[in-house]
Structure 1
Amino acid sequence: MLARGVGIALTVAMLLPLVSCAPSGAAVGDTNAHGSASQSSGVERGDVSIGMIGSHAASADDLVLDAYDAAGLAASYVSLADAVRPAACGQRAVRDMVTRQVTLIVVSGLDATQDVQGWNSALMAARDAGIPVVLVDPVHAPSDARLYAASFTINDRAADAMPIDKASMLVINDRPHARNLMVTTLRR
C-alpha cells in the first residue's frame, strides 16, 4: 500500500513541470478578452516589478521608464542600444526577467522576424512562467498571439490615449483590455 502511494506521488511530481501557468488558447494577461471565468484578485502597484527590454531608441525607452517611475511602478531595464546581436541579447534579457519572476515583461521595438525561433522560445518561457508580455511600438510582433498580452503604441499627442501605467496594470491584473492600445507616457 505504501509503495502504491509513493508511486502515485512520484507520478504527480513528474507531471507537475508539464503544467503551465499559461491559460489555454490565450496570452497570459489577455484571458479576459476571451471570456475567461477566472480573474486575478489584483496586484497592488507597490508589488509590481516590470522588466523592460529596450529598443535601439534609448530615448523612447526613457519616456516609458520615466512614466512608470512617476506612477510608482518599479522597472528594471536592459538596453539593447549598443548590442552587437540585439535579438540574442533581447532573448537572454527576457529569460533573465523570467528568472527574476517580474510581474510584467515589456519589450520595446521588437522585430520578431529577427530570429523567429529564438523570440518564440524566449516569449514562450515567459508564458510558461505565467508572466504577461507587452510589446511597445513593435516593428513586427510574433505571429503567435498567445506570446504577448497586448501591443502598446505610444502617442503622447492623442487626447484619448490611455496612460501607460494604467494600461500595464490592466494587463498585469488580467482585466479586459483591447489587444492593441494607444498609450501615453504623459501624466493625466
Structure 2
Amino acid sequence: MSRNISDIILIGPISTGKSTLGKLLAQKLGIPQCSMDDVRLDYYKEINYDEKLAKEIRAKVGLQGIYRYWKPFEAYAVERVLSEYSNCVIDFGAGHSVYEDDQLFKRVQQVLKPYINVVLILPSPDLEESMQILNDRNGGIISNGFDLNEHFLKHHSNYDLAKFVVYTKAKLPEETGDEILKIVKL
C-alpha cells in the first residue's frame, strides 16, 4: 500500500515564481523550503556530473546541447531530493519536470506518484499569453532556434505530473500562495 505524501512540490517553466512561492508557503506553514536550484549540483556530482564537459557542450552546441546533457542528472536529482527532504515545500528547477526521454520521464513520474500536492505554476491558462509574460520576465531564452520558454510551456511533462494548476497573472505572490493553500491537501 502506498502512502500519500503531503509535501508541496512546485513545478513549471522558468520565471513563473516557483522559488518565491516556495519561500512564501514554507513561511506560512512553518516548514522548511528546498529549492532544487540550490541543491541540484551536489546531486549531479554524485553521479559524475562533469562541469568542464558541460561548459564545452554549452560552447559547442548551445542551450539545447546542455539541456540534453542535464536530463539524466535532473531525473536523479529529483529522486534524491525527494528521498532526502520531507515535510517541506520543494520548488523544482524548470527542467526537473520536463523530459523528452520516456524512461527518464517514467522515473520521475513514478517517484512523484505518491505526492498529492504537485502544483504546476503558470502565468495564464492561455499559452501564448503565458509565453509573452515569461518572455517579458526573462527576456526570452532562445538558442539556435530552441525556445526554452515555449518548450517548457508546451511540453506534456509538466501537465502530466501536476495534480493542480495555478495561474499567477494579475495576482500578488501572497494571493497565489493563498490559492495554493486552499487547493492542496495537508
TM-score, normalised via structure 1 length: 0.46
- More helix as a share of residues: 2
Greater RCO (Cα-Cα under 8 Å, separation 6 or more): 2
Please report the TM-score for the alignment, with normalisation by the length of structure 2.
0.46
